[in-house]
């Protein structure tokens, strides 16, 4: 059961709050409709219930507010707005990524796709989906972790009549299994037709809280449904008689030979048809527009296909399989990273740019030989591989850092140490791969165009190699941490560029030029161990003593502290 108590939004300036003192209940095993016109505050109420909008009041899901629930994705499934995700990601890829975040088996993605009728579109890209298909994908995402409650914002918007009936049947099946369903709608006839309980909002205030039968009887216009092969003639006669008797009567011609008569009774219409010799097939009192579903329940269909179109069969119940953990951040991050062409495009662009810069440096002969494989001229703050690694890291908290399971349309993943560790690990592996590919391509290009002399690997390659790999991985981590702290891809890339452009000059001015070597020096001398080989401790000290390495280590430390402080603050 869901209990909303005193929900009130924060007012803007001198305006009244969009939602004020709204309280209601949505019981388990029932479908509850939150009804209101556009601007009545329905979406704001859902945002307050999910603690995604600032305001007062409390909402309890089976007796606990959402921030007290250990696994919120198993307690409530939400459909708000469009499904966030990269346009090039596939339908199945999105749900598999969210399955990893929710800790449910990957097979669950195919089950919910079949339940909402998107099984044939599992390999379609998000950018190719229609409005109705996107809404059904949002419903599949809400059902992914088999939550107890469903909170859906206008779930049938953009759907055809048949698709809308399928969604309503699915919601009814979820409620029949003991779940709680709350959906918003602006159509009172849809609320009366599909819900067990109707909560009406008017200008952000609670206008009515009724059973569906009471709502239909008191708030919808009663009417008489007439089926006749001479519907047009009967409608004309009813209108003439009403004018002659000065009665208020409205006749609406529906599809086929069907009339909807407002302001009359079955007895009066039947007498008019009898006096004029008009055949009537059906004459029934209805409340509002009961639609084809009610007609299928009250009258025998003319053919089986018509019955199937009116009331589609319920989907099979969704099976729940226990998960070993509430979430799998590493699996989620791997699927997030490899599921779109963005990372591959960045890597390809870095390799091409690095090869071109390497050829230009080799032709100019103004760059040290140990810097040629890195394609790092002294005029650039960072080599192309380091910039590409930073951009890949910044994308870890980029456009797809929306909450993958709780399904807010504009909400972010809560800061988590486990998720950060997974992102740092994946970004580090991607950076190492990119660095090795860049060096390999550059050496191959030098050997091809300038002979094996320029492509010769120096004898003391471990130290500059460690510096090179540390620089690339450090840039990737700086991008991840900055994007995680500031929630922006641009901020992540800016943090990477700020290391050589701002932090290194500031450190040189503060500590003096002698405290630093050249910004691109990867081959400075290092102390040797007693056995002729370079000491491991001295190698680490050498890497971090360089200006870019030291500034990068300082930046990563500061960003990591900021991330951890933000994590602790969000949990307080």
Half-sphere exposure of residue 308, counting CA atoms within 13 Å on the CB side?
3
Answer yes or no: pTM beyond 0.75: no
pLDDT reading at 320 higher than 60 = no
Which two tokens mark 477?
A: 């981590």
Going by pLDDT thresholds of 50, 70 and 90, the confidence category of residue 328 is: confident
Which residues partner with 152 through β-bridges? 79, 183
The pLDDT, as a whole number, for residue 539 is: 46
* Extended strands (E) in 27-92: 31-35, 55-61, 64-65, 76-79
The CATH architecture one would assign to domain 222-287 is 2-Layer Sandwich (3.30)
Please identify which residue in the block is written with the tokens 């791969």.
Answer: 433
Per the prediction, the chain carries an average pLDDT of 78
Fold equal for 2-217 and 222-287: no
The pLDDT, as a whole number, for residue 152 is: 92
The pLDDT, as a whole number, for residue 522 is: 44
- Summarize the confidence of residues 173-187 as an average pLDDT: 91
The pLDDT, as a whole number, for residue 524 is: 43
* Integer angstrom CA distances of residue 33 from 1, 282, 552: 14, 31, 54
User: Cβ(492)–Cβ(394) under 8 Å?
Assistant: yes
DSSP string, 146-194: --SEEEEESTTTT--HHHHHHHHHHHHHHHHTT-EEEEEES-HHHHHHH
Distance CA 457, CA 444 (A): 12
Please identify which residue in the block is written with the tokens 């009537």.
Answer: 280
DSSP string, 99-119: HHHHT--THHHHHHHHHTT-G
Q: Kindly report, residue by residue over 335-391, the tens digit of the pLDDT.
A: 888 888 888 999 999 999 999 988 888 888 776 666 778 887 777 778 899 899 999
Q: Which of 26-30, 65-69, 177-181, 507-511 has the lowest mean pLDDT?
A: 507-511
- Inter-helix orientation angle 547-571/417-450, to 10°: 160
* Integer angstrom CA distances of residue 231 from 220, 242, 288, 401: 24, 16, 19, 58
The phi, psi pair for 272, rounded to 5°, reads -65, -45
pLDDT reading at 462 higher than 70 = yes
- Inter-helix orientation angle 266-275/231-244, to 10°: 110
The pLDDT, as a whole number, for residue 42 is: 92
The pLDDT, as a whole number, for residue 511 is: 54
Going by pLDDT thresholds of 50, 70 and 90, the confidence category of residue 166 is: confident
First to last CA, the chain: 27
The pLDDT, as a whole number, for residue 299 is: 34
The pLDDT, as a whole number, for residue 131 is: 85
Please name the residues in contact with 40: beta carbons below 8 A apart, sequence gap of 6 or more.
Answer: 186, 201, 202, 203, 204
The phi, psi pair for 492, rounded to 5°, reads -65, -45
How much of the chain exceeds pLDDT 70, in percent? Answer: 78
Angle at 500 between CA 499 and CA 501, to 5 degrees: 95
The pLDDT, as a whole number, for residue 515 is: 44
The pLDDT, as a whole number, for residue 360 is: 87
pLDDT reading at 71 higher than 60 = yes
User: Cβ(496)–Cβ(478) under 8 Å?
Assistant: yes
Q: Kindly report, residue by residue over 392-438, the tens digit of the pLDDT.
A: 998 887 655 554 444 343 444 556 788 888 889 999 999 999 999 99
Domain boundaries defined on the chain? 2-217, 222-287, 329-571
Going by pLDDT thresholds of 50, 70 and 90, the confidence category of residue 570 is: low
**Does the domain formed by 2-217 have CATH 3.30.420.250?**
no
* Burial category of 125 from C-beta neighbours within 10 Å (exposed 0-12, middle 13-18, buried 19 and up): middle
The pLDDT, as a whole number, for residue 370 is: 67
Going by pLDDT thresholds of 50, 70 and 90, the confidence category of residue 449 is: confident
Q: Kindly report, residue by residue over 471-488, the tens digit of the pLDDT.
A: 888 889 988 888 888 877
Which two tokens mark 94?
A: 């999105």
Going by pLDDT thresholds of 50, 70 and 90, the confidence category of residue 492 is: confident
pLDDT reading at 209 higher than 50 = yes
User: Cβ(264)–Cβ(249) under 8 Å?
Assistant: yes
- Summarize the confidence of residues 278-303 as an average pLDDT: 56
Please name the residues in contact with 118: beta carbons below 8 A apart, sequence gap of 6 or more.
Answer: 91, 133, 136, 137, 140
Distance CA 147, CA 28 (A): 12
How much of the chain exceeds pLDDT 90, in percent? Answer: 19
């Amino acid at each position: 059961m869901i209990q909303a108590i005193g929900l009130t939004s924060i007012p803007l300036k001198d305006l009244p709050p969009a939602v004020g003192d709204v309280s209601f209940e949505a019981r388990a095993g029932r479908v509850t409709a939150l009804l209101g016109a556009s601007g009545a505050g329905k979406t704001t109420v859902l945002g307050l219930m999910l603690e995604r909008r600032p305001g007062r009041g409390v909402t309890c899901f089976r007796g606990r507010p959402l921030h007290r629930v250990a696994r919120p994705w198993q307690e409530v499934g939400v459909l708000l707005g469009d499904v966030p995700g990269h346009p090039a990601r596939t339908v199945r890829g999105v749900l598999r990524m969210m399955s990893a975040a929710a800790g449910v088996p990957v097979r669950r993605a195919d089950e919910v796709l079949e339940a909402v009728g998107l099984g044939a579109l599992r390999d379609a890209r998000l950018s190719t989906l229609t409005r109705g298909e996107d809404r059904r994908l949002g419903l599949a995402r809400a059902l992914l972790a088999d939550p107890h409650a469903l909170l859906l914002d206008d779930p049938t918007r953009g759907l055809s009549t048949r698709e809308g009936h399928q969604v309503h049947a699915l919601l009814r099946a979820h409620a029949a299994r003991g779940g709680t369903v709350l959906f918003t709608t602006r159509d009172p006839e849809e609320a009366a037709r599909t819900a067990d309980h109707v909560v009406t909002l008017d200008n952000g205030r609670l206008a009515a809280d009724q059973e569906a039968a009471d709502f239909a009887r008191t708030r919808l216009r009663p009417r008489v449904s007439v089926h006749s092969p001479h519907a047009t003639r009967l409608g004309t006669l009813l209108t003439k008689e009403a004018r002659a008797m000065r009665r208020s009567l409205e006749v609406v011609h529906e599809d086929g030979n069907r009339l909807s008569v407002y302001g009359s009774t079955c007895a009066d219409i039947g007498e008019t048809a009898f006096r004029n010799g008009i055949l009537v097939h059906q004459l029934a009192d209805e409340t509002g527009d009961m639609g084809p579903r009610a007609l299928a329940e009250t009258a025998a269909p003319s053919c089986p296909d018509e019955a199937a179109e009116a009331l589609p069969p319920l989907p099979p119940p969704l099976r729940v399989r226990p998960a070993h953990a509430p979430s799998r951040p590493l699996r989620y991050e791997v699927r997030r990273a490899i599921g779109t062409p963005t990372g591959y495009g960045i890597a390809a662009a870095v390799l091409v740019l690095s090869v071109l810069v390497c050829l230009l440096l080799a032709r100019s002969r103004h760059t040290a030989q140990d810097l040629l494989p890195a394609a790092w001229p002294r005029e650039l703050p960072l080599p192309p591989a380091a910039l590409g690694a930073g951009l890949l890291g910044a994308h870890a908290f980029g456009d797809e850092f929306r909450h993958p399971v709780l399904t807010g349309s504009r909400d972010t993943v809560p800061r988590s140490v486990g998720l950060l560790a997974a992102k740092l690990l994946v970004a580090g592996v991607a950076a190492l791969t990119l660095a090795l590919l860049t060096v390999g391509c550059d050496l191959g290009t030098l050997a091809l165009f300038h002979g094996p002399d320029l492509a010769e690997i120096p004898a003391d390659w471990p130290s500059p190699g460690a510096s090179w790999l540390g620089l690339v991985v450090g840039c990737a981590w700086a991008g991840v941490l900055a994007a995680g702290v500031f929630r922006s891809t641009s901020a992540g890339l800016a943090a990477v560029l700020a290391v050589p452009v701002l932090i290194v000059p500031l450190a040189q001015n503060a500590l003096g030029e002698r405290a630093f070597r050249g910004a691109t020096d990867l081959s400075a001398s290092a102390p040797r161990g007693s056995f002729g080989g370079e000491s491991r401790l001295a190698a680490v000290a050498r890497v971090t003593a360089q200006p870019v390495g030291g500034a990068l280590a300082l930046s990563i430390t500061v960003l990591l502290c900021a991330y951890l402080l933000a994590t602790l603050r969000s949990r307080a």
